[in-house]
Amino acid sequence: MRVPTDPQTGPQTDSQTGEYLHDVRLRVNGVVHDLRVPARRLLSDALRHDLGLTGTHVGCEHGVCGACTVLVDGRPARACLMLAVASVGAEITTVEGLTRPDGSLGPVQQAFRECHGLQCGFCTPGFLTTVHAGLEENPDPTHEEAREMIGGNLCRCTGYQNIVRAVERAAVLRRETADGDRA
């Protein structure tokens, strides 16, 4: 599926700064998007401003807080530390891509909801993407491994206890789903 963002008709330079605008094709959550952006456009801003995918949150904007974490070819990456123009050719997954095809919550999202793993929700998209990939790599984490998995994400509300519970609950939900799919 292609989203017509109509880049070819606009000017190739920014009218205010005179910057060259690159034609960039991004693949996000399985959908191809064509956009025209300056080289300095961060991937986090391209997702939010150019594509309207505001599920990815921008916190510290220098790679510390983890709120903007997306998956790049399945591996967690800080969207604020990537240029959109350098993200060509990668399969990008945002929090919007973690729901099931029918729109219901994925196992990690469901677990965060059940375990009260969020309060204000600002950091949550980064946790969800990080945990989603973390459980792909390690489907049955110990308590210590669950803590380690979220070590690069900051939350200022919860005190992390319920987030760790949510990681462990998500591992259970994933296994149940896998069993259900096999049945």
Interaction site with other proteins (CB under 8 A) = 17, 19-20, 22, 38-40, 42, 45, 61-63, 66, 69, 72, 75-78, 80-83, 85-86, 130, 148, 151-152
Q: How far is the CB of 85 from other proteins (least distance, A)?
A: 6
CB 66, CB 88: distance < 8 Å = no
Q: How far is the CB of 20 from other proteins (least distance, A)?
A: 7
Query: What SS3 class is residue 156?
Result: coil
Shorter beta-carbon distance to other proteins: residue 39 or 120: 39
Q: How far is the CB of 56 from other proteins (least distance, A)?
A: 14
Shorter beta-carbon distance to other proteins: residue 63 or 114: 63
Rounded CA-CA distance 3/116 in Å is 35
Residue 65 gets which letter from DSSP?
Answer: S
Q: How far is the CB of 180 from other proteins (least distance, A)?
A: 30
Rounded CA-CA distance 172/139 in Å is 9
Shorter beta-carbon distance to other proteins: residue 3 or 27: 27
Output the CA torsion sign for 55, 28, 103, 5. positive
Shorter beta-carbon distance to other proteins: residue 105 or 160: 160
Rounded CA-CA distance 75/129 in Å is 9
